[in-house]
Structure 1
């Protein structure tokens, strides 16, 4: 199973085998392209544990005792924050919306700065939302290239048939989109409820998939993103920090176990 980049244990830590370009991007907020330009220009220096300078190359794997310096200033990894939140109906995942409450409005005022949602849910969809200040971590979750799995509990308008289950599992063609969806995992909970795990994030995808097989979604709840599962102790509107294991999984990119 693919894994997202781990998060640092301590402020300033260099993780074993972390690439130089990733470390600098993580520490500065610059893009990887900008970082590579900096490194190749000679602006980034790398020193080993004995204090000797070693060649700075974007692909260099760093050791934990190395130091990275940018124009004389040591670079450190700031302590990012990672939260899970149980989103209720009627709340949007954007950071600012004049017409609706946002997921950040559910947090205390002193906890909101720098956070954004790693992926979004529709206004009428409930369940797991991941919030973080770490843009690189959230990119691994939201980028289409990584196929991060999301598991939903779907309540349908009509009983789900075996034909519909087979079609959803194999992939369906959505209206106004000729590309079939990727294979999905489908578990029938009861006649009007199923669990659907997808590894894409197309617009209104779950609702459109059910429409494509002749059914309709009446309620949608996200249970998991990768290996991070919504804590059953969280009521709608409640949140908690991710555990160390959840942070390190970075919302592991395979289907939830």
Structure 2
């Protein structure tokens, strides 16, 4: 939310109230700004203003950042008619302006970042920024040195005109690989394995642009990012 903004917009966002209801409550005299009852919703307000609704102060919570250990079965969307979303796991107020910075497929687990800071998330998702995301995968077939070399140099994906950008590949064991990529093409890791004649069985993301998934978070748990973690994105 950008400030200054209309009182109507502020109330709708912070109190999570439909605009039609906001207008009714303002006309009823239930809203004050800096101690004064306000009967018009078009006045401009900022977070520094003391705004109350029905005697309770409303405060803008500002820019917020969370990490989530995503389990399988959840989609990275604000709403979905068929599946639960990652936002169903976040018990925080005023999430309607939030979005996922770097989505995961429904069957992929691991690190998801959620924020209402569009400029910050742009640093992660913009192809021009080339921020690495690191995944651990289990494969159907044994991973060969030849396949690792191909993945690191770049492979041609089905339906794509250009090969993938150079990646970082670290063999964990014969059927497990740590892969870091700086792009975000559709189903990219799965398609990269397919391009070298293999198949992903399980996929888990453990790092985004230097932010590590907190090992103390169980699947489905989340926590706010630390100031240091937030600053990593702009520093890298």
TM-score by length of 2: 0.74
Counterparts of 1:113 and 1:241, CA distance in 2: 17
Partners of 1:137 and 1:109 in 2: CA distance: 20
Asked if structure 1 preserves the Cα contact closer than 8 Å seen for 2:3 and 2:45, the reply is: no
- Match of residue 166 from structure 2: 183
Residue 197 of structure 2 corresponds to 214
Q: 2:68 aligns with which of 85, 107, 121?
A: 85
Please tell me the root mean square deviation across aligned C-alpha atoms, in Å.
2.4
1:162 aligned partner: 145
Counterpart of 1:105 in 2: which secondary structure?
A: helix
User: Mind listing any 5+ residue stretches in structure 2 that lack a counterpart?
Assistant: 5-43, 49-59
Query: Which of the two has higher C-alpha Rg?
Result: 2
Report whether the alignment pairs 1:232 with 2:215.
yes
CA distance in 2, matches of 1:230, 1:192: 22
Gaps of 5+ in 1: 1-25, 30-71
Distance 1:227 1:180 in 2: 24
Q: In structure 1, what is the equivalent of residue 89 of structure 2?
A: 106
Give deviations 1:73-97, integer Å, cap 9, x for gaps.
8899973000000000000010010
Q: Structure 1 residues 245, 153: closer, same or farther in 2, change over 3 A?
A: same
Partner of 1:196: 179
The number of residues matched between the two structures is: 187
Q: How far off its partner does 1:147 sit?
A: 1.0
User: Match for residue 17 of structure 1?
Assistant: none
- Residue 113 of structure 1 and its aligned partner are, at CA, apart by 3.8
Q: Runs (4+) of structure 1 moved beyond 4 Å?
A: 26-29, 72-78
With a CA cutoff of 8 Å and minimum separation of 6, indicate the structure with the bigger relative contact order: 1
Instruction: Give the alignment's TM-score, normalised by structure 1.
Output: 0.68
- 1:127 aligned residue (100, 105, 110): 110
